[in-house]
Structure 1
């Protein structure tokens, strides 16, 4: 779950909704910046489904007693995350093998390993999965695969920027992840070194440096606002279930 805390409420965005927002955004990526265009559909499928494993968890989100707040994707216990990571990649593999390779690569970067236990088991399992899937592609290109993974990373980060920040946030009010911009993967040519500057111009408009999209575009994503008073009265799960769904609409434009 992606969580923004306000004085009297929590804004909650399901991870799978964030993934679908990422696909909306990256579907506008410039063709000349999209290597291996013949794999575009598979790459966008990976972008859309990269967090699908969170879906059952986000339907019944968990309350963090120690912080008196919903668990965020950043502080959710690692053993549980490893379970949903694997379930998510399994689900993607039933849809598209290349997409599953990308998602496997993505999640393997979130697990450090070295514990001699569940983390290492996960990393080894995913290494073998990627090797198995790779063997089915006679013309597999490792360089292009790395570039496609960079597109997945960018989609994840652009979408997170939309979801973790309040719309219209000033730079000094942004989430620390993005105060210095969006990380630009080294594997992708044609982008500024290291970071893409990004900022809100107003409550609906996001400006991006060296605009890497084909034209200005609009996106939207759903969220729930759960009042803290309702959580105290009803409990977190019931308050979440009864909260109304809303939508945030945003427009991406070039930075001038």
Structure 2
């Protein structure tokens, strides 16, 4: 293992023992994670992302209820503190960001340190702050996998993105435009409509004021979209099918 200074044995973290309201979260000293394999990297965290999955796990419990205390957070950004002997792509001092842990198995990012396999790390873009980088991974992965890997979105296709001003939605709008697609998206207010237009949305539907299906069919000359991305679920899913 390569490191430039003595590593801490304890770290501060936000933990919880049993599910419940936000009041179950407590600041506590816990053992700091250590590198166990030659491809792992120890990251000193500078920022952690907060995602809906975190609040759900805090309220309902993690996927590994016997492993306590739980440390939530799957998105993080920070500085490489130490690297395993087999790590080639990163070195001590690199600024990185990642999505890993926080589901109840491995320690999440609501802590001073995290150990991450090099496969899940990326160099933080210089244009992004640590906070901005920590907010990006999970929403980017979700939108990327949905549009590119599963949806096979192609240039010239028309795509409907529900909740285009939301965490995943606003990334999906940009990725779809990057692919060369035409984008229609739904929002709840004029303020959000202006926001998604700035991101490149070609058509914006204020879903509280009009029929979404009618608007989509009008936009596509009655043909419907090639791909729909629903980040809302429930009744919205069923309303999307005719579009």
Normalised to the residue count of structure 2, the TM-score between the two structures is: 0.26
Task: Decide which structure has greater helix share.
Answer: 1
Higher relative contact order (CA 8 A, sep 6+): 1
Normalised to the residue count of structure 1, the TM-score between the two structures is: 0.25
* Structure of larger gyration radius: 2
Task: Decide which structure has greater strand share.
Answer: 2
